[in-house]
Amino acid sequence: MPNDLTILSASAGSGKTYTLTGLLAGLLDQGVRPDGVVATTFTRKAASELSARVRSRLIAAGKADAAQCIQDGYIGTVNAVCGAILGDYALEAGLSPNLDVLPDGEDSAVFRAAVSEVLRLNTPPLTPVLRSLGLFDLRESWDKPVKRIIDAARANRIDRAELLACAEKSWESFRQLLPEPLSLQDGRRLDDELRRAVDEALRDLPAPGDGTKATEGVRDRLRIIRNNMRNGAPGCWGDWISLAKFAPGKQSRDIVQPITELAEQVLGHPRLHHDVETYIRKMFECASDAMGRYQQYKKDLGLIDFTDQEALTLSLLENDDIGQRLRERLDLLMVDEFQDTSPIQLALFLRLSQVAGKSVWVGDQKQSIYAFRGTDPGLMDAVVENVDRVEVLGESWRSQPDLVRFANAFFGAAMRPHGIPAAQVELVPKVVELETDDPHLMCWRLQANNKTVEAACLASGIVDLLSSAGRHAVLDKATGGARPLRPGDIAVLCLKNHECELVAEALNDRGIRAAVPRPGLMAQPETQLALAAFRYLADESDLLAVAEMARLLAGEEGPDWWLPLVRPGDLEAVKERIPAIHRLDAARSNLVQLTAVETLDLAVSLVDARPVAKSWPHPGNRLANLDALRGYALAYEDACGASRSPATSAGLLAHFSRLAADKEDKQAEGGGSDAVQVLTYHRSKGLEWPLVVLTGMDSVDNPRIFGLNVCSDSETFDMDNPLAGRWLRFWPWPFGAGRRIPALEEALEGTAAQRRAEAMERRERLRLLYVGMTRARDHLVLAARIPGKTDGTTSWLDACVDETGEKVFVFPLEPGVQTIRVGADHQARIDVGSFAPESEGAVPPPGVPRTPALPVEPAGREPARFALGGYPSNGTVRTEAVRIGPPYPIGKREDPARLGSAVHAFLGAVPGGLDRAVRETRAQAVLADWELSEVDAATLCEMQDRLAAFIGERFGDPGVRTEWPVHLRRGPASGAGWVDMLLGLPEADVIIDHKTATGSADRLEAKAASYAGQLSAYAEAMSKASGRPVRETWIHFPLAGLMVNVTVSDE
């Protein structure tokens, strides 16, 4: 058991850092030796701040010697402390004192290099199973799920042999969800009968008098599935689920009924049992083998990663001799943010608590929200329940009294059913109260039925806030006085990153800057300038780099000033006009002495990237982007050093390209007083703002049963062995895009796995809501999408109930200021508003500049690029509609923007000539990326097949190019765009543009006519670039099954 362990419960805003500093200083006064302190923090910044504050207090108290000695203790992040202990006792532990630690985030590259052979050998035998389970594309990135299993095993101290036992447990537990399998003979008979039923249905559909769209859709889908059949059965288990759910028109149901009855037997199919069992066992076998290869690979290179540090330190502490030596040395263990530790870190802290004379763990169970990173809130709860001394910081130094009292009432009631008493929730407000007649709490009813419209409604609400900024005064932390609300005082919290992007776009459309994490660093002009100089410095034959510098360094002459000077293969005349190029040429001879990062620094300096960036709009963001680029370069050099590979300029450029391709090249977020912060709930932890808007109040629970989960066979928690009985359960989802399987849901009902998943989800969402609400200092907004509702149901808030099951808060609907009951008896004043999206072109609030957060092109001259879609058509527009299939019945719940993006992504990126199984797998990935549920992979493939059939019938066998860039100069500026599909005929081209609008044929013809200007601009650009005429321009409406030919004449 730990020695003298105290848990200090520090709710949000309760002055944890101040208390921690004072506590440590006080214990030093009581005799704790400064060099006998172990203090772990979550970040390096927190460690530096703690050490600096304590040293300052000691020096102020005249204890300079103690202030010096505290640096001889162990103060830092968990891994810094582990590294220091291992360094001090390396020889006793049988380790080299010169082990190198892999930089954070660089373990994936080393892992891939270590296990590539394991994955290569295991891919061929698994490919048929991957096809059947709808996971075929995993053969291209199979290391990711294997690494997730290995990471979870190492974080829970599960060894290679135990991994193989996890495979047995995983399959046995999954098998209990399935009925007894049919015999192999009966399975083959079921395949044959299903194939015959499909053939007969295709022959008989539709029934006489049944011309419904539903029946046409079923018949089209049957044709696709029949084409996919191999060995007499559908090619993947997701097809069986589709067949079981077929719902044609009423008159044709009897024809399809034999198919649905046969397909409903899928859970008992012996091949399904075989495929799932094979996949589970193979994943664990590969993980076990790969874990051994990974460890040996690191050992051969003299490397360890962060988890190795923790595991080695834990083993060191379990050595009786070393444990005794540390016991004589250590007086105090302090753990900050203990709720965010991983399982192995928890075991490490408990072991250190047995060595140190006294232990203080500071944290907050209510803020344990990083389960997706491997933390286990359940373990933290168990520690708190087993510790006798739990002290509470009971005062709030962050939020307005009304907000503190609201949070007290809300979470005091909602946390109690989860074992957290009110005493660990409720705080006494200590902040000076703002004098205002308006409530500090607001509820916004958003008139939206999808995420895109919801974002527009949120933007309307924020415009309203800023238009009446004087009503929403905030406390200025610098002056201590009240002042009007500014954009930079506002934070909007979203559940997911793509929701953040939608909100940022909606704010930008309304003229309000939004600071949001987003990829695209390599596409920014200041970054392009730096990289062009870097490429040219490394390779003087890189003419594209010269052209990019010429464009970006253009003065009053315009971005295309250099084009008339170009001679084939020769840009010497252009280079003569750019002084920076002469400086780059002169410096090239010295590159042999420079590292890759030093070469990049030299290029940035010689091309004057920073002074140029300062001359463009939003210079602070642009300079921060250049710093971010250098940060990625330093990380590349660190990774090369860790893996014992050379860091070269070519390698650095390839690294930048990979970051951009994987959308991991994050831009600087920007900020300042004129930018609204938009971020996820998870990223908001540890931060605060004067006004916080919480979104997603209407989001529903999504218990995570399938996939990888950590389980425990231990009925009680052992403080001496906290990881006892833990194992990994891996349940793959075998049905592709199919999400609702009634028979499987019935089998799961009431199981321990389902109860645990639902309980974990409820607790996780409650903690996330607590983190969100407690970020607000002066004002809090709860925003919910409730179009047309009269009862105020909001799934997230409604799931927060007290011990009796009663809701602690009901979202109000009536507009205006009112008093609402919260919890048992608290009465809260709330201002209720309703917001709808505004029309395009709405003006921003007074005093708020209408500028995007980070424009792609510098201003100060005519824009270098603009959208071609905005050009009007000059002439008479004619249309010709061609039906290529029935419309798809897409539900209204789908977000039109995400649906359109998904369709464009699939049609543009997935070649139609690929194997059908491959296309469906990639379609599933696209749908998953855009989080669409009412469109399946087969529908996307069918859209592609329809379009291919139309092209073949009308144009024969043309060359097909997708996402083709076009550029057009008109007047002083130039336009750029992308042609969705370009068909190359023998003597002309054809342009096809995809639009995902729906409606009647007449309505869509009129809509197609509105794109005549865009199509004409595309055609003009293509003709000028290629010298070939564009014969036809078409709008493809894939959801509506319609092609519209658009022509413009001078008549």
Question: Which strands form 876-883's sheet, in the order they lie side by side?
Answer: 876-883, 1042-1049, 1030-1037, 989-994, 973-984, 959-970
* Residues 899 and 975 occupy one common structural domain: yes
* Residues 891 and 940 occupy one common structural domain: yes
Last residue of a domain, one of 621, 639, 661: 661
Which H helix or E strand runs over 877?
strand 876-883
What 3-state class would DSSP assign to 227? Answer: helix
pLDDT in tens, 104-129: 777 777 888 888 888 888 888 888 88
- Cα gap 568→384, rounded to integer Å: 74
Kindly list the distances between the CA atom of residue 1033 and the CA atoms of 394, 452, 1007, in Å, as whole numbers in the listed order: 69, 29, 14
Q: What is the pLDDT of residue 1050?
A: 64
Confidence class for position 132, pLDDT limits 50, 70, 90: confident
Two tokens, residue 31: 């005799």
Contacts 24+ apart (CB under 8 A), 707-710: 707/731, 707/732, 707/733, 708/145, 708/148, 708/149, 708/152, 709/753, 709/757, 710/152, 710/156, 710/343, 710/376
* Residues 919 and 1017 occupy one common structural domain: yes
* Residues 883 and 1021 occupy one common structural domain: yes
Strands 1030-1037 and 1042-1049: antiparallel
DSSP at 867: B
Helices within 30-159 (DSSP H only): 44-60, 64-69, 78-88, 107-132, 143-155
Q: What is the pLDDT of residue 293?
A: 94
Domain contains 765: no
* Residues 128 and 82 occupy one common structural domain: no
Burial 929-965 (b: 16+ CB within 10 A, else e): ebebeebbbbbbbbbbbbbeebbeeeeeebebebebe
Amino acid at 129: V
**For the purposes of burial, counting CB atoms within 10 Å of the CB of 972, is it exposed (0-12), middle (13-18) or buried (19 or more)?**
exposed
* Residues 277 and 318 occupy one common structural domain: no
Strands 989-994 and 973-984: antiparallel
Kindly list the distances between the CA atom of residue 966 and the CA atoms of 623, 866, 909, 976, in Å, as whole numbers in the listed order: 30, 12, 18, 6
* Residues 312 and 294 occupy one common structural domain: no
Q: In 10 A of CB 287, how many CB atoms? A: 29
pTM metric for this prediction:
0.77
Amino acid at 63: K
State how many domains the chain has: 5
Residue numbering of the annotated binding site for ATP = 10-17
What 3-state class would DSSP assign to 830? Answer: strand
**Domain hosting residue 957, numbered range:** 868-1049
Kindly list the distances between the CA atom of residue 843 and the CA atoms of 460, 849, 895, in Å, as whole numbers in the listed order: 11, 10, 26
* Residues 237 and 135 occupy one common structural domain: no
Asked if the model's pLDDT at residue 840 lies above 70, the reply is no
Q: Is the peptide bond before 417 cis (omega within 30 degrees of 0)?
A: no
- Cα gap 72→35, rounded to integer Å: 5
- Ranking 419-423, 570-574, 976-980, 1024-1028 by mean pLDDT, the lowest is 570-574
Q: Residue 353 is part of a domain; what is its CATH number?
A: 3.40.50.300
Cα 607 → chain centroid: 35
Confidence class for position 894, pLDDT limits 50, 70, 90: low
Domain contains 1013: yes
Last residue of a domain, one of 632, 661, 690: 661
Asked if the model's pLDDT at residue 568 lies above 60, the reply is no
Q: What is the 3-state secondary structure (H, E, C) of 734-752?
A: CCCCCCCCHHHHHHHCCCH
- Ranking 91-95, 295-299, 334-338, 852-856 by mean pLDDT, the lowest is 852-856
Report, as an integer, the average pLDDT of 997-1004.
Answer: 87
Domain contains 546: yes
pLDDT in tens, 490-530: 999 999 988 998 999 899 888 888 988 788 899 999 999 99
Q: Under a CB-based contact definition with an 8 Å cutoff, are residues 584 and 537 in contact?
A: yes
831 vs 1: which has the higher pLDDT: 831
Q: What is the pLDDT of residue 741?
A: 86
- Cα gap 840→838, rounded to integer Å: 7
Domain contains 345: yes
Burial 392-430 (b: 16+ CB within 10 A, else e): bbebbebbbbbbbbbbbbbbbbbbbbeebeeebbbbebe
- Cα gap 412→808, rounded to integer Å: 10
Domain contains 896: yes
Confidence class for position 559, pLDDT limits 50, 70, 90: low
- Cβ-Cβ contacts under 8 Å for 590 (sequence gap 6 or more): none
* Residues 339 and 205 occupy one common structural domain: no
Asked if the model's pLDDT at residue 888 lies above 60, the reply is yes
Which H helix or E strand runs over 254?
helix 253-263
- Cβ-Cβ contacts under 8 Å for 209 (sequence gap 6 or more): 251
Confidence class for position 426, pLDDT limits 50, 70, 90: very high
Residue numbering of the annotated binding site = 10-17
% the chain with pLDDT above 90:
41
Domain contains 260: yes
- Cα gap 114→107, rounded to integer Å: 10
Confidence class for position 398, pLDDT limits 50, 70, 90: very high
- Cβ-Cβ contacts under 8 Å for 564 (sequence gap 6 or more): none
- Dihedral of alpha carbons 383, 386, 389, 395, sign: positive
CB hemisphere CA count around 549 (13 angstroms): 31
715 vs 399: which has the higher pLDDT: 399
pLDDT in tens, 678-689: 999 999 998 999
pLDDT in tens, 744-794: 888 998 899 999 998 999 999 999 999 999 999 999 999 998 766 556 678
* Residues 325 and 198 occupy one common structural domain: no
Q: Residue 592 is part of a domain; what is its CATH number?
A: 1.10.486
**Whole-number average pLDDT of the chain:** 85
Domain contains 994: yes
Q: Under a CB-based contact definition with an 8 Å cutoff, are residues 3 and 357 in contact?
A: yes
Q: What is the pLDDT of residue 551?
A: 81
* Residues 537 and 583 occupy one common structural domain: yes
Q: What is the pLDDT of residue 445?
A: 92
Domain contains 795: no
- Cα gap 988→134, rounded to integer Å: 40
* Residues 583 and 536 occupy one common structural domain: yes
